[in-house]
Amino acid sequence: MKRNKVEICGVNTAQLPVLTNAAMRELFVSLQSGNLSAREELVNGNLRLVLSVIQRFNNRGEYVDDLFQVGCIGLMKAIDNFDLSQNVKFSTYAVPMIVGEIRRYLRDNNPIRVSRSLRDIAYKALQVRDSLTNQNLREPSIVEISKAMDVPKEDVVFALDAIQDPVSLFEPIYHDGGDPIYVMDQLSDEKNQDTLWVEEISIREALQKLNDREKRILSMRFFEGKTQMEVAEEIGISQAQVSRLEKAAINHMHKFIRT
């Protein structure tokens, strides 16, 4: 069976080579001994890794060629900084660097512009968060981050929220085995009042199926308008935990809402 030819940046993806772990190790040893041609072989042998990563960003409306080129920059940085002595698979090390490079590109090219000073606060907050996490073996609170930076906690929350990637209206948020439900499906038409009261009853009934913490999180997020960071600070858990609990609660509610 003939494989379909798909070209990205002039590269025929159907013919990309795949390197074995043994071959990769030999090439890294050769590169670190000064053989620059080994670098080119490592790049070409890991382009499939870049392809697998950029598939995560297919719904962003960006040109695939652009994402591929940016991903290749991340790949080359990973190759140049990879340490064989750490006994870690190259793909495990490279994927976060490729993803990080693409996310930086998307943030810098976001049509919703964020001021430079706000981005600086956000990036500094992320660095401080990682440092405190490694130091205390737990995720720090917003108060701890703001104290370490000597910046008001409100500014930290605002800055971190500002650099979050916007959600596409076509982002799937729920899948029950049939057609997926997208963000746009959850946007109500305020002019259509005929079914509004039915939806409100369904939502109230679904809320009663949640436990107290899930109710509190959804109430703070969607009725009080608080950010995940603010909810995390008030409840005393991490932002990542708030995100997981919020998604679980919404998915749980979908099982009881009848439209």
Domain extents in the chain: 7-108, 116-162, 172-254
Judge whether 47 and 37 are in contact, CB under 8 Å: no
Pairing of strands 7-8, 181-182: unpaired
Of the pLDDT bands very low, low, confident and very high (cuts 50, 70, 90), residue 91 is confident
DSSP secondary structure letter of residue 150: T
Strand partners, 174: 181
Q: What is the predicted pLDDT for the residue at 216?
A: 86
Domain 7-108 matching CATH 1.20.1250.20: the answer reads no
Of the pLDDT bands very low, low, confident and very high (cuts 50, 70, 90), residue 176 is very low
Q: Which residue has the higher pLDDT, 164 or 186?
A: 164
d(C-alpha 98, C-alpha 68), whole Å = 10
- Out of 4-18, 139-153, 204-218, 244-258, pick the least confident: 4-18
Q: Reduced to 3 states, what is the DSSP secondary structure of residue 172? A: strand
Count the residues in the chain: 259
Mean predicted confidence (pLDDT) in 238-249 = 84
**Does 90 score more than 60 pLDDT?**
yes
Domains 116-162 and 172-254 share a fold: yes
The pair of structure tokens assigned to 211 is 């436990």
CATH of 116-162, one of 3.40.50.2300, 3.40.228.10, 1.10.10.10, 3.40.50.1370: 1.10.10.10
Instruction: Write the pLDDT tens digit of every residue in 42-76.
Output: 988 888 888 888 887 776 667 788 888 898 999 99
d(C-alpha 58, C-alpha 21), whole Å = 29
CATH T-level assignment (fold) for domain 172-254:
Arc Repressor Mutant, subunit A (1.10.10)
Report the sign of the C-alpha dihedral through residues 95, 99, 100, 101, in that order: positive
